[in-house]
Structure 1
Amino acid sequence: MKKILSTMAVLAAIGSALPAHAADKKVMMPIAGAMEDNGAKERLGDSIKFYFGTQKTPKVLEKRGSDQTSQKTNAFAKSDQAVCHWAFLSAMLALQKRAQEVGADAVINITSNYKNIPYSSETDFECHVGNVVGGVALKGDFVRLAGGKK
């Protein structure tokens, strides 16, 4: 019984120490690099156009709503780049799916939105990596653009 109690005490001590050692590192990554990895360009295709930050877009004919997504992935024993690129692709696929659902042909004003703190860039996105999990949060506006498909 003593052995069981001491084992439980050790496990409890280890368990309570884990959160103190958990990392939450902010990593800024180039969008272009993420779009070149994991077959992102092919998987996203060209049916929905994506515009980051304040990138110039064709004339917006109609706004179809806004949304955000927060995508997580396993970070255990993976590089920050691998984690961030995978979570970015997952977030982009979620925005694409929502755009298709609302009949949009583009997602504009895409910004990072980790813990609801916006970060706008035409070239980079924000990713957070921990010891076990990494994630990317994005938000954007779904629109129909002039010259887009009907």
Structure 2
Amino acid sequence: MRRFALIASAVLLAFAGTAQARDTPVHLPLQELLDSQIAKDAGIDGSVKFYLAGQSVNVLQRMGEDVTNKKTNAANKSDEDACRWVALSALKALQDGAKSRGANAVVDIVSYYKKNEFKSATEYECYAGAILAGVALKGTYAKVGAAKPAAEPKRRGR
């Protein structure tokens, strides 16, 4: 009887582990998050600008690359809420890194979950599970200037 209970427990644990192993990719708009009140409440203060890979930016000086990998408790939260929260943690880490280096931006940001790059000019990638959600971001600290205005076409005299 004891042997049966031990085998049954092992089988239940094996199934429970796979049931909890959800790792669903979620793609959310970065700018919407940066413009939100929760970003301000989390300490994203606007002193450092964030540019996803593919966004146009006038980079004056590159100051090194960094990766941040954050996780948060996803229990009793929607995937989107858990992903927003953990993304703010990753952005805060990049903001702090930029400030410590004298940078005013993080450019060429890509999602880098489990070292797999996801590039989008508008969205970041999060992986949500039943227990945890995770966001990994890779970007380059930089000093950026105002966007270069588009050159006006030359007019020909009549």
Q: 5 Å matches for 1:121-132?
A: 121-132=120-131
Q: Which amino acid aligns with 1:74?
A: N
| Counterparts of 2:96 and 2:86, CA distance in 1 | 15
Change (3 A) 1:37 1:145: closer
Give the structure 1 partner of residue 45 of structure 2.
45
Please show how residues 49-64 of structure 1 align to structure 2 within 5 Å: 49-58=49-58, 60-64=59-63
Q: CA deviation at 1:15?
A: 2.0
Q: Distance in 1 between the 2:37 and 2:114 partners?
A: 25
AA aligned opposite 1:16: A
| Cross-structure match for 1:134 | 133
CA RMSD, Structure 1 to Structure 2 (Å): 2.0
Contact 1:113 1:137 in 2 (8 A): yes
Cα offset, 1:35, TM superposition: 2.6
What's the offset of the Cα at 1:34? 2.4
Aligned to 2:13: 15
Structure with bigger gyration radius: 2
Unaligned runs of 5+ in 2: 147-158
**Structure 1 partner of 2:89:** 90
CA contact (8 A) 2:54 2:121 kept: yes
The structure 1 segments of at least 4 consecutive aligned residues displaced by more than 6 Å after TM superposition are none
Q: How many residues of Structure 1 are paired with residues of Structure 2 in the alignment?
A: 144
Query: Which segment is superposed worse, 22-31 or 132-141?
Result: 22-31
Whichever residue aligns with residue 50 of structure 1, its letter is F
* In 2, Cα distance between equivalents of 1:16 and 1:38: 42
Matched-pair identity in %: 36
Letter in 2 for 1:64: M
Shift of 1:106: 0.7
Give the aligned partner of residue 118 of structure 2. 119
Cα gap change, 1:18 to 1:36, in 2 (>3 Å): farther
1:141–1:116 CA distance, 2 compared to 1 (3 A): same
